[in-house]
Amino acid sequence: MILLKRANALREYLSGKQANGNTIGFVPTMGALHQGHISLIQAARKGNSITVCSIFVNPTQFNDPSDFQRYPVTLEKDIQLLEKEGVDILFLPYVDEIYPDGLKNLPSYDLGYLETILEGKYRPGHFQGVCQVMHRLLTLVTCDDLYMGQKDYQQCMVVSKLLQLTGIKTRLHTCPTLREPDGLAMSSRNMRLSPETRHQAVCISTALQTIKNHIKPGDTAHHCREAEQFLQENGFKVDYVAIADAAELRLISQWDGNLPLVALAAAYLNDVRLIDNMLIPTVQ
């Protein structure tokens, strides 16, 4: 595995590989890698000649500075995992390689409705930061295929919108969420859970699974209320539980049974914010 820290070196290396007909699969991460990230790496390796992974904790997507400071860093372990999985290039940039003109006067992106709901509502500015870092990374990596996890459902939709806005031809692959044996979605933030809160954390996937198992055509709002109450009773401070159409993320309160849905939740256990979602198929 080649480790590169400079944007120019990355661009020069990849342009040579592409000139020889190699395709590039890219997995952007913020480190603290887990098996969910590894599944993305495996998908990238299967679909492409060259696999690139980046590790960069992006300061512009943290609307809470303390959250940025607490984000887990496990770089030595991450490098060992990536080498074991056969990653070709690890891009480990400094902040000034991603933001050469500094962190002020960065571009903004017209994300429309996506920026006003759910994560966009509760983390103002977050998706602008996601777009800023992803636009820069995609400009540097010039990959054929981009691999991201379904756990960050709304973020995947934002990146899809970014590709439309910029005209970048990269194909986005949204890969299934990987879960622990008890159902908890794998997440770097899980490392910050105490043994007690780790036991509680599974309630978020339980709440979504309950919605998935019991939802029927008609009113859907009561499912969200019941799930929110369940989480509160189990120690969570809830930002949202919502049901939306899976294609456009429009929030719904009535369902005809013919529209694929997604149930989404975000909630805090102490100071650790967890998100999760589950797809809900149409009624057969």
- Name the residues annotated as catalytic: 37
Query: Binding site annotation covers 169?
Result: no
Query: Binding site annotation covers 186?
Result: yes
Alpha-carbon distance of 192 to 271, in angstroms, equals 9
The first and second tokens of residue 77, run together, are: 């372990």
Query: Binding site annotation covers 112?
Result: no
Which of 23, 26, 33, 76 is closest to 53 using CA atoms? 26
Alpha-carbon distance of 278 to 264, in angstroms, equals 7
Query: Binding site annotation covers 152?
Result: yes
66: number of CA atoms within 13 Å, CB side? 3
Query: Binding site annotation covers 37?
Result: yes
Query: Binding site annotation covers 120?
Result: no
Quick check: 17 and 147 in contact, CB under 8 A? no
Alpha-carbon distance of 103 to 44, in angstroms, equals 31
Query: Binding site annotation covers 16?
Result: no
Query: Binding site annotation covers 219?
Result: no
DSSP-derived 3-state class of residue 33: coil
Query: Binding site annotation covers 178?
Result: yes
Query: Binding site annotation covers 31?
Result: yes
Quick check: 29 and 54 in contact, CB under 8 A? yes
Query: Binding site annotation covers 32?
Result: yes
Query: Binding site annotation covers 149?
Result: yes
Q: If residue 230 lies in a helix (H) or strand (E), which one and from where to where?
A: helix 221-233
Quick check: 136 and 26 in contact, CB under 8 A? no
Query: Binding site annotation covers 21?
Result: no
> Torsion angle of alpha carbons 29, 30, 34, 36, nearest 10°?
-40
The first and second tokens of residue 114, run together, are: 């996506």
Q: If residue 180 lies in a helix (H) or strand (E), which one and from where to where?
A: none
Residue ranges of the annotated binding site for beta-alanine are 61
Q: Which amino acids are annotated as binding site for (R)-pantoate, given as ranges?
A: 61, 155
Q: Which residues are annotated as a binding site?
A: 30-37, 61, 149-152, 155, 178, 186-189
Binding residues for ATP are: 30-37, 149-152, 178, 186-189
